[in-house]
Amino acid sequence: MSVLLVEDDMSIAIVITAALEDDGFTVVHCQTLAERDRHLGDRSFQALITDVMLPDGDGIETIGRVHAMHPDMPIIILSAQNTLDTAVRATDTGAFEYFPKPFDIDELARTLRQAVGQTRGQTATGDEPLAAGLPLVGRSQAMQSVFRMITRVLRNDLTVLILGESGTGKELVAEAVHQLGHRRNGPFIAVNAAAIPAELIESELFGHEKGAFTGAVARRAGKFEQAAGGTLFLDEIGDMPMQAQTRLLRALQSGTVRRVGGSEEILLDARIIAATNKDLEPEIASGRFREDLYYRLNVVPIHMPPLRDRSDDIEVLARHFLQQATKEGLPSRCLTEEAAELLGRQPWRGNVRELKNFVYRMALLAREDVIDVSTILPMLAQEPVNSQAAGDREVDNIADAISRWLSVERPASGTIYEAAMGAFERPLFSEILRETGGNQLRAAQALGINRNTLRKRLSELSLDPEEFARR
C-alpha cells in the first residue's frame, strides 16, 4: 500500500517513513504542495499524510484540490500549530484524522491502517467559515486531546458530558462545541443547576403554564424551549435535585418536555451538553445521582485536565490573558521569561480561573509595563493558597470540625465532608466580604464564582453581606 507523505521537516519525514515502511507501507516523500499535486496527478495512493505549514502554502487550504483529484483517498493532517482553530480547520476539510506535533508514531501507523481500511468520511459542507478567536488555549498533550474530542462532535448532536475540577474551563468547551458546530446560528442557553433553588429548577428547565403555582402569572417557556435550534448547557449537573433528575431523564428519553402545570408535549430541538466538577460514580453509589441519567448524558465524555497536569500551558495562558486584559481596557503589559517560569511553578489550585484572575490583577497593579519576578513575588505572597499561616489556620478549623462531627454518635444531618467544607468556607467567605466591603459582585469575582452561587452559599452559611458593608 502506497502513501504520499508531504513534510518539509526532513527529520520528521525520515522517522515517519522508517516507521511506516516497517509497518508494510510504501512511502513516497515530497516537501511542497507543487510536488504533492504532481505526484497525485501521476499515480494513485491509498492515503495522504500532509503537514500544514509548507514552503509554498497552507496544506489545509489546498485539501479541496486533493479531494477533487482523489475523492475517496483518506487524508491525515499533521501540524505544529497546536490550536483548536487548526484542529477544527483540519476536521472541517473532511480529513480522516488530525495529529498535533509531537505525536506518537505508533498511533499514526495504527490510524493509517484504519484509514486505508475504511471509506473516508464526508467532506465539509458549504457552511460559512468558522469564526476566529476561539476561547480555548493550550499546547499541552492533554489539551490537544480535548481539541481532538471537540472536533469529533461538531457535526453531530451526540450528548456531551464535560468532566473536570472547578476553574478548568468546562463552560468554554461547551461554548466551543456550540460556536464551531452546525448549530452555531442557534442560541446557546446555559443553566447552572447548583444556583437554582430546588423548588424552581423544573420551572426553569421545562417552563410553566399560567397558574401552575403561586406567582405563575403567565405562561413561561423553559430553557429547553429557549434553546430550540441551538445548545442547552447544563452546568453543575451533579448538584441537580433528584426529582429534577427524574424529569430530565424522561425528557431525554422521550425527546419531549412538558411545562409545569401543562399537558402539551413539546418536541426537543437542542443539543444537550452537561458538565460537573463532581465524580459522579460515588454520587451514584450514594444515591444522590441517577445511574440511568448518567449513562444517558455520558455519550461523549470530555475530561478537562487540571492546570497542574498541563503546566506547559501556564505561560501560554498567562500571555493570552494579558492580551485579553489589554483588550478589556487594562494597561498593556508583557512578561519576562523569568516571570513566566515563576508562574509556571505555582500550584494554581483554582486552575485556569485562578490564573486568569491573578493575571488581570497583575495587569492592573503592576507599576511597569514589563512584569518581572520582583513584581510577581509580593503578589504571590498575598495569595491565600500561598500563605502558610492562613493554611495552618484552615487546617486547624477543619480538624476541629471533623473531630466534633466524629464525637457525635449519630450526627443529626450532613456528612463529614460537609462539616469540613463548612469550617473552611465560612472564614473564607467572611474574609472576602470584609475585604470587599460586602460588595457581592467583587466578592464573586475574587472567588471565581457567579453571583447566584455566592448568594446561595452565603444564605447556607448564614452570612449577611450588609454586616460587612463599609460605612
| Lowest mean pLDDT across 187-201, 229-243, 360-374, 421-435 | 421-435
Look at 19 and 399; give whichever has higher pLDDT: 19
- In 42-172 the beta strands, taken as DSSP E runs, fall at 47-51, 53-54, 57-58, 75-79, 97-100, 160-163
Structure-block grid coordinates of residue 43: 499515480
pLDDT of residue 431: 78
The answer to whether 67 touches 42, Cβ cutoff 8 Å, is no
Sole residue written with cell 494554581: 348
Which tens digits make up the pLDDT trace of 163-186?
A: 999 999 999 999 989 988 889 899
Q: What is the mean pLDDT of residues 36-50?
A: 90
pLDDT of residue 231: 96
Per DSSP, the three-state class of 443 is helix
Ordered domains of the chain (ranges, CATH): 2-116 (3.40.50.2300), 154-303 (3.40.50.300), 308-386 (1.10.8.60), 393-468 (1.10.10)
* 3-state DSSP helix/strand/coil % of the chain, to nearest 5: 50, 15, 35
The answer to whether 31 touches 55, Cβ cutoff 8 Å, is yes
CB contact burial 168-179 (16+ within 10 A = b; e otherwise): bbbbbbbbbbbb
| Lowest mean pLDDT across 34-43, 52-61, 131-140, 460-469 | 131-140
pLDDT of residue 216: 79
pLDDT of residue 127: 31
The answer to whether 151 touches 98, Cβ cutoff 8 Å, is yes
Q: Is the dihedral of CA 243, 285, 174, 256 positive or negative?
A: negative
Does residue 70 register a pLDDT over 80? yes
Residue 419 to residues 122, 238, 411: CA-CA distances in angstroms?
A: 54, 19, 11
Sole residue written with cell 516497517: 22
Spatial CA neighbour of 435 closest among 382, 368, 378: 382
Spatial CA neighbour of 195 closest among 162, 173, 223, 219: 223
pLDDT of residue 273: 97
Query: Whole-angstrom Cα distance, residue 261 to residue 97?
Result: 49
Q: Strand 300-303 relative to strand 160-163: parallel, antiparallel, unpaired? A: parallel
Highest average pLDDT, of 325-334, 379-388, 422-431, comes from 325-334
Which tens digits make up the pLDDT trace of 311-348?
A: 889 988 999 899 888 988 889 999 999 999 999 989 89
pLDDT of residue 6: 94
pLDDT of residue 288: 93
Does residue 21 register a pLDDT over 90? no
CA geometry: angle 412, 413, 418, nearest 5 deg = 135
pLDDT of residue 126: 30
Query: Whole-angstrom Cα distance, residue 248 to residue 428?
Result: 34
Does residue 133 register a pLDDT over 50? no
Does residue 422 register a pLDDT over 80? no
CB contact burial 288-314 (16+ within 10 A = b; e otherwise): bbbeebbebbeebebebbbbeebbebb
Query: Whole-angstrom Cα distance, residue 249 to residue 10?
Result: 54
Cβ partners under 8 Å of residue 296, min gap 6: 159, 249, 252, 253
Look at 155 and 283; give whichever has higher pLDDT: 283
Residue 360's Cβ-side half-sphere holds a number of Cα atoms within 13 Å equal to 14
Q: What is the mean pLDDT of residues 84-104?
A: 80
- As a whole number, the mean pLDDT across the chain is 82
Tell me the backbone φ, ψ of residue 53, rounded to 5 degrees: -85, 105
User: Residue type at 199?
Assistant: E
Look at 462 and 134; give whichever has higher pLDDT: 462
